[in-house]
Amino acid sequence: MSSIEDFYKQIKEINASGKEPLVIESGEGAYLTIEGKTVLNFCSSHYLGLAEDERLKKAVKDAVDKYGVGTGYRTLAGTHKLHLELEDKIAKFKGTEAAVVFSSAYMANAAAIQTIIGKEDIVISDELNHASIIDAVRLSGVKNKFIYKHTDTADLEDKLKEAQEIPLKSDGQKPLILIVTDGVFSMDGDLAPLPKIVELAKEYGALTMVDDAHGEGVLGKGGRGIVDHFGLVGQVDIEIGSLSKAFSVIGGFIAGNKTLIGYYNLKARQRLFSIALTIPDTAAALAAINILLESDTPVKKLWENVEYLKAGFKNLGFDTGNSQTPITPVMLGDENKAQEFSTKLYEEGVFATPIVFPMVAKGKARIRVIPSASHSKEDLDKGISAFEKVGKELKII
């Protein structure tokens, strides 16, 4: 047993090993100002460059003038008509019957799993799923957890077969089986094999859930997401989205059929016991969704930039992994090399953070570059030349 003194001593030591956060002194557009220095923003997940968009700013100002700032608890007196409008537009955008918003995708994942999965049910999860899914599974208290090898549908099928052997629950019912996966895996930019997952789910009687935080605003027609990308609209039970990535605001949602969303509205603890989105957040998110409902221009611009950047890196001889999305890992391998590479890029006026263990496996360190629709060709050229200079200096290329 450790004394209170020991406890504080231990956490003090751990705190000392932490890094001070970088403090941004500008908006989050194509460039950032950090400690008075302006650098190219080369790793942001504001894919569509909406963080400083005039339409979002205006929507927020108008809504705040009209309705003020705060809202309440949704089930008491906190459901504002803007919330309903946002949910309606999200459902329209995703091509689902309904949607419900939460204060983040972390919360939406927690709600999506905890509300429907009990101790005796079954969850089958990709080994590289996002931390918020892992935490959501833990929160449900489910005992029957299966982890399948990353995107390996043969292994998933083995787990589904094992799941069939699990006995009836104490109430005599069959356990519910939920297959859950990230849509886009955020470190490598690869995709979940959703068509095969949906096929297996049908065969073995499982519910499907996909977290599309990095797919919305990016994949599919006009950025509709991974389910649209694979032509599977209406065939995935639970879709999770974040309003903080491509939409550049805050909030998360569950999209799906009316019955399921109705149940989440009634039962999700994250909705009953936690506050609703504020007026400015809701108005900004609504404006962002409306932009994409009206036009695919920002998504097209994003992809033009992605093609240009990836071609630039390939021509220089960098290994950019097997991403199918704007997430562009520049593989460096060694942790120290990745750190040094990032520091040197910063000296060249380019901000791109290193991704090292434990975020990725040891020896798989990289710089994760993400271009956005806010970059011009000149911005991308600037970034590519900085990579060329540093890459040659460190003998990577």
Ligand X SMILES: *Cc1c(COP(=O)(O)O)cnc(C)c1O
Looking at the Cβ atoms of 120 and 126, the one nearer to ligand X is 126
Which segment (21-29, 101-109, 113-121, 305-313) binds ligand X by CB under 6 A? 101-109
Integer Cα distance of 213 and 102 in angstroms: 14
Q: Residue 357 contacts by C-beta under 8 Å, 6 or more apart in sequence?
A: 335, 364, 365
Residues 271 and 343: beta-carbon distance below 8 Å:
no
Query: Binding segment for ligand X among 30-38, 98-106, 189-197, 218-226 (CB under 6 A)?
Result: 98-106
Q: How far is the CB of 110 from ligand X (least distance, A)?
A: 10
Among 44, 125, 151, 186, interactor with ligand X by CB under 6 A: 186
Active site residue 344: no
CA distance 284 to 61: 9
Residues 117-146 interacting with ligand X (rule: CB under 6 A): 130, 132
Residue from 29, 217, 223, 252 binding ligand X (CB under 6 A) = 252
Active-site residue among 80, 130, 159, 214? 214
In whole angstroms, what is the distance from residue 63 CA to residue 61 CA?
6
Minimum CB separation from ligand X for residue 125, in Å?
12
Provide the minimum distance between the beta carbon of 96 and ligand X in the complex, in angstroms, as a whole number.
Answer: 18
* Six-digit token string for 128: 């590289």
- Which residues pair with residue 124 across a beta bridge? 146, 179
CA 120 from centroid of its chain's CA atoms: 28
Binding part of the chain for ligand X, among 20-28, 207-215, 269-277, 313-321 by CB under 6 A, reads 207-215
> Beta-strand (E) ranges in 56-206?
98-102, 122-126, 144-148, 177-182
Give DSSP secondary structure letters for 116-149: T--TTSEEEEETT--HHHHHHHHHHT-SEEEEEP
The nearest distance, CB 105 to ligand X, in angstroms, is 3
Is 37 in the active site? no
Annotated active-site residue 150? The verdict is no
The residue (of 104 and 342) whose beta carbon lies closer to ligand X is: 104
DSSP, collapsed to helix, strand or coil, labels residue 239 as: strand
CB closer to ligand X, 45 vs 96: 45
The torsion defined by the Cα of 103, 104, 108 and 114, in degrees rounded to 10, comes to -80
- Give residue for tokens 């209170």: 4
d(CA 102, CA 85): 14
Stretch of 80-88, 100-108, 284-292, 378-386 contacting ligand X, by CB under 6 A: 100-108
The values of phi and psi at residue 337, to 5°, are -65, -40
Closest CB 184 distance from ligand X, rounded Å: 7
CB of 366 to ligand X, least distance (A): 17
Candidates 257, 253, 278; CA nearest to 268 is 253
Q: Which of 42, 47, 93, 106 binds ligand X (CB under 6 A)?
A: 106
Interface with ligand X by CB under 6 A: which range of 152-160, 200-208, 210-218, 367-375? 210-218
Site membership for ligand X, residue 326 (CB under 6 A): no
Question: Does 213 engage in binding with ligand X (CB under 6 A)?
Answer: yes
Residue of the chain from 48, 60, 98, 105 that contacts ligand X (CB under 6 A): 105
| Total site size for ligand X, rule CB under 6 A | 13
Residues with catalytic function:
186, 214, 245
Binding site for ligand X (CB under 6 A): 104-106, 130, 132, 182, 186, 211, 213-214, 242, 244, 252
